[in-house]
Structure 1
Amino acid sequence: MADQKRVLLLCGDYVEDYEVMVPFQALSAYGLSVDAVCPGKKAGDFCRTAIHDSLGHQTYSESRGHNFVLNATFDEIDATKYDGLIIPGGRAPEYLAMIESVTDLVKKFEHSQKPIASICHGQLILAAAGSVKGKKCTAYPAVKPVLVAAGAHWVEPETTAYCTSDGNLITGATYDGHPEFIRLFIKALGAKISGSGKRILFLCGDYMEDYEVMVPFQSLEALECRVDAVCPGKRAGDKCPTAVHDFEGDQTYSEKPGHNFTLTADFEGIDASSYDGLVIPGGRAPEYLALNDNVIKLVKEFMESGKPVASICHGQQILSAAGLLKGKKCTAYPAVKLNVVLGGATWLEPDPIHRCFTDGNLVTGAAWPGHPEFIAQFMALLGLTVSF
């Protein structure tokens, strides 16, 4: 559409995994056009990402994340064509802040007073560009000395989810704050959110896919929905380890350890009638969750009541085990086709892999590259809209 908002995402090697993918896919799901670029790279190249997590040590841990594929070429970027800029954190900003073409790009957004949203260590780039002088600014606490030296009015993050704004500048402390960070950014772009306040339940388990839980979870929270994440045998505040599944040229996906995902509610006593919709992430969790009678009962309550259900990748193993795919048209990760067909569904080929489909109250997707379609179709069933 002619008035579609365009956003630039500034990437680099070892950008934090969530901090690049969550805003990229959330904004895409809301109908914005998002270009992801990296100096020295072109569309189709990828940036390696880093998983930063808090494991109780004096600083965060780091492990390898997904490979994030760029969709635009840095050298071809015209800042005047974009409505806003997002700068993820991780380790990438340390070296990006030293590149003149990067700081020049940031200065163009600053001078035009277009919204700039920067999170975690991304504020190192803002400091190098002189964009924080005299402005209220937060960040990951270790970035404080640089921001103070650059003339910012440092705002201590009260929690890891803390965000603040000053004029055109939005800053956040860590990816825990994505819901507010993204909401502040889209509202700075003129967004109006309709249908908020929905209550959504996420069915989680150990080694669910990292992106497939966090991206839709925070995308829906950003739209002012109440989102609860539960796991059988666990309580609010407990964690589920996640798995990073990626496509790296092998015959099947690779697996690496992901972030630890914090649950927000107790599984025991969950009342399906108090929720408006259900999301089932993929990964390896559905293999064992499908054997749990309480999980099967819960999923049946959602499906049989006609409430929106969105299931991705291997999540359809649970739907098949519950006998809920009979007569449905759906897709899944291709290796799950057997479960889908034996469950009585009509198989829809996910070609390309980001294709998602809606049949009645059921949205199905094949893998995390399809999140923009997956989330957008689930939003449509929920009556959630973002307009500009």
Structure 2
Amino acid sequence: METVIFLLSFHGFPYCLQTYSETRGHNFTLNATFDEIDASTYDGLVIPGGRAPEYLAMNGSVLDVVRKFSTSGKPIASICHGQLILAAADCVKGAKCTAFPAIKPVLVAAGAHWVDPTDMGACVVDGNLITGVTYIGHPEFIQLFVKALGGVISGSNKRILFLCGDFMEDYEVMVPFQSLQVLGCHVDAVCPKKQQGDTCPTALHDFEGDQTYSEKPGHDFTLTAAFEGIDTSSYDGLVIPGGRAPEYLALDESVISLVKSFMEAGKPIASICHGQQILSAAGVLKGKKCTAYPAVKLNVVLGGATWLEPEPINRCFTDGNLVTGAAWPGHPEFVSQFMALLGIRVSF
């Protein structure tokens, strides 16, 4: 198994503004202290963007860690404003790289060969260095990093459908969607009464000490296909994100019919958080064992399923062709269990 070190605000790209917008994002939990880090024990380094690189680039300890990865030739993947840290660590001299366009002057001054991004999803590889422009390019960015680590993906080329709606949870659609693209799948996102190219606003749900989750605005998520006339037989699997969308999508008979068609065909279905409200309404949980966000337990039990307690909240379960999860912190299990049903593997 490869080991990677990761050195949140929330950025969007409204068409009417000259730069990105910013709102508060998810709380991200650290799993180690910086002083514990021994760069020699890791196989790769990822540097996220945002505003953090502006001050991390001024930290001598951070720069020392980055230089150790650079001189060892280990893969480094840096995105958006993360390249400020690479420039400060003197790790881009003579290297071809890209970044969020505003970072160009710094990279040029640091001796990099600037590559103009063709779009906000562009990525560039030069030796052990992978650079990307924004989160829009995550599928290619992560795919390139997996390759640099020696990873080989097999069993890909699956066709996956995402059942979307306004105010679905941002992470619960974005992360699995891009993860499956990384794995080489063709992924479509549809929403009733919306067309290809339309967007769904999303919501950020967090656990901040209140009796229930908090909610903040998320990204606008772009749909890739029209819901009307969708041919479910052409897809190998279905993903149902959570958030607030499932409670009203469960009232749509065309949604219920779509879910039933996947279950009757025995195709893999992965549903997370409140997504199980749709499964319950579709009557496909009878005799199944599954979990969900704890507040959805009533829907699951009344739907005829055996309730599995999500303790801790990142627990996910597979029963036959069904993968269920409680919330976005369970994405590693959620995606890996869905991969297993689809027959997709990543080997190193």
Shorter-chain TM-score tier: over 0.9
CA distance in 1, matches of 2:54, 2:216: 25
TM-superposition CA deviations, 1:243-285 (whole Å, max 9, x none): 1000000000000111111111111111100000000000000
TM-superposition CA deviations, 1:359-381 (whole Å, max 9, x none): 00000000011110000000000
Alignment partner of 2:320 out of 349, 360, 376: 360
Correspondence 1:157 to 2:117: yes
Shift in Å, 1:100? 0.5
CA distance in 1, matches of 2:53, 2:221: 25
* Map of 2:265 onto structure 1: 305
Q: TM-score, with normalisation over the residues of structure 2?
A: 0.99
Q: Which amino acid aligns with 2:2?
A: K
Shift in Å, 1:165? 0.2
Alignment partner of 1:111 out of 61, 71, 74: 71
SS at match of 1:193: strand
SS at match of 1:372: helix
SS at match of 1:270: coil
| 1:300-379 to 2 correspondences below 5 Å | 300-379=260-339
| 1:1-388 to 2 correspondences below 5 Å | 4-10=1-7, 49-56=8-15, 57-388=17-348
Q: Which amino acid aligns with 2:6?
A: L
CA distance in 2, matches of 1:75, 1:260: 38
CA distance in 2, matches of 1:335, 1:142: 44
CA distance in 2, matches of 1:386, 1:310: 19
CA distance in 2, matches of 1:65, 1:237: 25
State the Cα RMSD in Å. Answer: 0.5
Q: Which amino acid aligns with 2:13?
A: S
SS at match of 2:225: coil
Q: Which amino acid aligns with 1:94?
A: E
TM-superposition CA deviations, 1:183-237 (whole Å, max 9, x none): 0001000001000100000001000001000110011100111000111111111
Shift in Å, 1:175? 0.4
Q: Which amino acid aligns with 2:328?
A: W
TM-superposition CA deviations, 1:100-137 (whole Å, max 9, x none): 10111000000000000000000000000011110000
CA distance in 2, matches of 1:202, 1:66: 22
SS at match of 2:262: helix
CA distance in 2, matches of 1:278, 1:345: 19
TM-superposition CA deviations, 1:73-124 (whole Å, max 9, x none): 1011000000000000001000000101011100000000000000000000
CA distance in 2, matches of 1:52, 1:237: 20
Q: Which amino acid aligns with 1:112?
A: S
SS at match of 1:375: helix
The count of aligned residue pairs is 347
CA distance in 2, matches of 1:261, 1:103: 35
SS at match of 1:121: helix
TM-superposition CA deviations, 1:114-165 (whole Å, max 9, x none): 0000000000000000111100000011111100110100001101110010
Q: TM-score, with normalisation over the residues of structure 1?
A: 0.89
CA distance in 1, matches of 2:263, 2:99: 42
Query: Percent same amino acid at aligned positions?
Result: 79
SS at match of 1:201: strand
Q: Which amino acid aligns with 2:237?
A: G
